[in-house]
Structure 1
Amino acid sequence: MLKNRKVIVTGAASGIGKEIVKQCLFEGASVLACDINEHSLNDLMLSLDNQYPLHTYQLDVSNHEEVVKFFVYVEAEHADVDGLVNNAGIYLAKNILDYQVNEIDKVLNINVKGFIYLSQMFGKRLFQSQSEGVIVNMSSVSGIEGSSDAIYGLSKAAILGLTKSCAMNFSPYIRVNAVAPTMVNTPMMGNIPEWRKEEYVSHQLIHTPVLPEDVADTVVFLLSDKAKHYTGATFDINNGGYLR
């Protein structure tokens, strides 16, 4: 489905990002896997036994200078890149009343500014050459319905607005869509309060848990030509828990 495609994936070394990397590779794409955790990137590479066209790059998406350097590397080594999955994010599981200023900055710098930096530089490359490409932004059901962590919920709501605006700004060359999963069984889920987990589950119309692989399937679809008529859209993966 993704033959001859080259895709950047941020937050690539664990959870949903790791599954997105694997599914992209299995579908024939080359992948530039970026993560702040170099050790986890090495583990990812080892787990795939060097059988696939996987390249790793240690990157803090919230650091503008690092992102600039990354795109210098992309220009030199991977000029044919045509896909971007903005997935890197953090969730502190804190009540807004308990947030410190530096914690607010950290969440927004990674979860919002990181998406902006990558989208801007990716968009600039493809737009200038009038090349076609795709961006998939990882949002969350909490960006639509609210979160017990208000700063996280804010960051994921911002990504929905960024997705629509980039779809307009990057037209007609780059399609931009968002994915908004419900709770997914990853290490991050362990931080969600029990009452909120129960609330999510009680609303769902389908009782099969959403797995990282399921989210990755949707991302692969959006990266592929099968999704050529979708842009500015949000794909809810929530078992019908929140209908709109």
Structure 2
Amino acid sequence: MKEKWIIVTGAGSGIGKEIVKECVSKCYSVIACDINDEALRQLAEDTKGHIETHVVDVKNGKDVKDLFYQIKDKNLYGLVNNAGVYLGKNLLDYEENEIDFVMDINIKGYVYFSKYFGELLMKKETEGAIINISSVSGMEGSSDAIYGMSKAAVLGLTKSCAMNFSPYMRVNAVAPTMVNTDMMKNIPEWRKNEYIAHQLIPSFVTPQDVADTVLFLLSPQAKHYTGATFDLNSGCYLR
């Protein structure tokens, strides 16, 4: 069977790194994208499998377009939009440049990758899957309003792309609660305690848990899911 390539953004650490490792373990080939060259080099050393690393600034449309020109002849199958930032600030404390920074990475980055990935697969009329990493904050709000807004936008993008890219691509979102990564250091203690108090399962979600969900959504077992959001939140938010 011809190898299938999965693109993962924010691949150098945390959730993205676990997704790359899990994809490789399931015999996918991976295009790992991150802005941190050193993190990508370490990832390549740690991962035993077919992996290419590309330094990409996801908020730069030209960077993303250039990447897809380089990989256009590969048998692309999956895209995992994962790159994101969380500043952990109250809206009143945000500077204008910080608002742009979060929106450019958390929203525009997803838009650029979805656009160029969608263009290639629609042109070839081949099947594929997009998985967008959102957050429970996109549904119930966040102490960081800009972050919450950006993750809510990802849910809207997921539904719209599911319609736009049908019938060739399935597009779904994963909305985790707090995940035990370095990003969690920016979450206020009162917010962490609030999340744990509301969880029906009193344990943190791990990057491996997110990766397991992503791999399911890439698999043939998820063939009837599109435009959906998968709540990975230990029951802290029920809908």
Distance (Å, rounded) in 2 between the aligned partners of 1:166 and 1:138: 14
Aligned residues: 239
Matched, 1:202 2:197: yes
Deviations 1:4-38 (A, max 9, x none): 42100000010000000000000110000000000
Runs of 4+ in 1 over 6 A off after TM superposition: none
When normalised by structure 1's length, the TM-score is 0.96
CA contact (8 A) 2:2 2:75 kept: no
Deviations 1:91-128 (A, max 9, x none): 11111001111110010000000000000000000001
- The residue type equivalent to 1:55 in the other structure is E
Matched, 1:59 2:56: yes
Residue in structure 2 matching 1:234, options 226, 229, 238: 229
Deviation at 1:3, TM superposition (A): 8.8
Partner of 1:73: 70
Please give the residue correspondences for 1:112-191 in structure 2 after superposition, counting only pairs within 5 Å.
112-191=107-186
Distance (Å, rounded) in 1 between the aligned partners of 2:171 and 2:46: 30
Calculate the aligned-residue CA RMSD, in Å: 1.1
- The residue type equivalent to 1:39 in the other structure is E
When normalised by structure 2's length, the TM-score is 0.98
CA contact (8 A) 1:104 1:151 kept: yes
Deviation at 1:208, TM superposition (A): 2.6
Structure 2 residue ranges without an equivalent (≥5): none
CA contact (8 A) 2:3 2:75 kept: no
Matched, 1:102 2:97: yes
Deviations 1:147-182 (A, max 9, x none): 010000000000000000000000000000000000
Distance (Å, rounded) in 2 between the aligned partners of 1:32 and 1:240: 33
Structure 1 residue ranges without an equivalent (≥5): none
